[in-house]
Structure 1
Amino acid sequence: MNVLVILAVILFLLMTLIGGGKGVRSFVAIFLNFGVVIFTVILMNDPNLAPVILTIIACLFISCINLFFINEVNIKTKPAFLATIVSTVILLIFILYLTDTAMIQGFGEEEIEELGMFSFYIGLDFVKIASAVIIMSTIGAITDTAMAISSPMREIHFHNPHISRKELFLSGLSIGRDILGTSTNTLFFAFFGGYLALLIWFKDLSYSIGEVINSKIFSAEMITILCSGIGVTTVIPITAWITAYFLMRRKENSEETL
């Protein structure tokens, strides 16, 4: 039994103990999402298939797994899913323009030495690959933020059913402001944690601050972080508005039935 299996078992036991049935579904969702990502990467090897379209389809599946499989289909997950899709589409337009303009596609010079023995003529558009990478990197944070806003808004409406749509919307924005800072900082430190060895390498090679900032690999990761932060920020008012609409609409339908 290797380390990976031991850690997976510990994670499963903790998620089951603390989360119950939902914790078990969350654990299974990790492997389902992993399968979706691997299958998408395999399909990207076909030059006849558009990487961005494949990524959008993969994001739909990932959103469904993270929201509907884990938390089931209900008044909280429906607005979160819709807000995720709207935010991703808006961000997609920005990402496609940005990756083409910033020219962050491909490999940086720090990676060329290890890949020098391989051919780079693989028949794929690296601009679209770069866009797909950024989109895939943002979907988790966007889904998490959408659910983190939709769920408390449902509780606010449940305990205060006479609240107006505007007040409910403003409550959602207030919740979003509270989690915005922690969410964006999580993305930031995830980058520095994953690329700490690269930063140490930059220091050993006596890179100046300008050379670090202008290196392709650093710029690509920072652009990914900033796009993720933009996505997290954008999804807050969208989720608040959609959730407020869904909750008030259901209340109006219930009153009409009575």
Structure 2
Amino acid sequence: MNVLVLLGGILFLLMTIIGGRKGVRSFFALFFNFAVIIITVILLCSPEINPVIVTLFACVVISCINLFYINGVNSKTKTAFLSTIICIVILLLFIIFVTNKSMIQGFGEEEIGELGAFSLLVEVDFVKIAVSVIIMSTIGAITDTAIAVSSPMREIHYHHPDISRKELFLSGLSIARDILGTSANTLFFAFFGGYLALLIWFKDLSYSVGDIVNSKIFSAEIITILCAGIGVTLVIPITTWITAYFFVRNKETKETV
């Protein structure tokens, strides 16, 4: 407990010194997001509630916290929020299809020993739970990419108010290409960092490459990473188009008035 408090204090101090007021809001946003996740998990345990609907609502709340609470309500956060919601809805349909076809819901063989003492008669649709897990795993990366694209586009439009919609859109795509590479690598290494012990276990069990790839645990995590990567990639053109459209549209509206 003392270590947790010490690390939390160091993080708060650094975020306050480097980020100022926005850093303080970012620190408290961590706890707000944690509270949303805990409430979501509690609601997912209820068989009367649709897990996908609850997860979508949680994603909206998390997006509001990450965008509006930290960065304020302005043009860049509004376009980033709209882009995030559109991307999540499109990605949801794809995730439902992939989850049903891949059959990754439930627990893998490697987890049976840990669950032996518990009852498996759970009145929860694990297909929908798997969909909810993937969506919750992607929301952070999608909102981060959306604001990372809309923010510099706002600066470009501010310093070059006469820029056309097409030029602003192409500039946003150029910026996003640099962000895409680092975001994809972050998702990739986050998996291997969190599941390094699992991979070592696979090696000790003399799993072949085919056994590892077909393992439910490994497949579920890889599918989550790929869906997150698809979401990060998909949100880029959506954000650039929406941002370019609204910024140039606002300029044209002011000129008309």
TM-score between the two structures when normalised by the length of structure 1? 0.99
Count of aligned positions: 257
Match of 1:72 in 2: 72
Supply the distance in 2 between the matched residues of 1:9 and 1:255 (Cα, whole angstroms): 50
Q: SS of the residue aligned with 1:36?
A: helix
| Letter of the 1:115 counterpart | L
Superposed displacement of residue 117, structure 1: 1.0
| Counterpart-to-counterpart distance in 2, 1:209 and 1:45 | 35
Residue identity opposite 2:88 in structure 1? T
State the identity as a percent.
Answer: 74
Residue 59 (structure 1) shift: 0.1
Which residues of 2 match residues 69-218 of structure 1 at below 5 A?
69-218=69-218
The runs of at least 4 consecutive aligned structure 1 residues that moved more than 2 Å come to: none
Q: Which amino acid aligns with 1:252?
A: E
- 1:47-85 deviation line (CA, Å, top 9, x unaligned): 010000000000000000000000010011000000000
Aligned to 1:227: 227
User: Distance in 2 between the 1:64 and 1:167 partners?
Assistant: 29
Distance in 1 between the 2:153 and 2:134 partners?
Answer: 29
Counterpart Cα distance in 2 of 1:84 and 1:98: 20
Cα separation, 2, equivalents of 1:64 and 1:121:
36
TM-score, with normalisation over the residues of structure 2?
A: 0.99
Q: 1:55 aligned to 2:55? A: yes
- Tell me which residue corresponds to 1:238: 238
Q: How does 1:4-19 map to 2 (within 5 A)?
A: 4-19=4-19
Equivalents in 2 of 1:143, 1:99: separation in Å?
A: 23
C-alpha distance in 2, partners of 1:250/1:12?
A: 38
Distance 1:120 1:242 in 2: 46
**Is there any run of 5+ residues in structure 1 with no aligned partner, and where?**
none
How far apart, CA to CA, are the structure 2 residues paired with 1:235 and 1:121? 39
What is the root-mean-square deviation in Å for CA atoms of aligned residues?
0.7
Q: 2: distance between equivalents of 1:93 and 1:50?
A: 15
The code of the aligned residue for 2:101 comes to: T
Secondary structure at 1:161 match in 2 = coil
* Unmatched runs of 5 consecutive residues or more in structure 2: none
C-alpha deviation, 1:120, in angstroms: 1.2
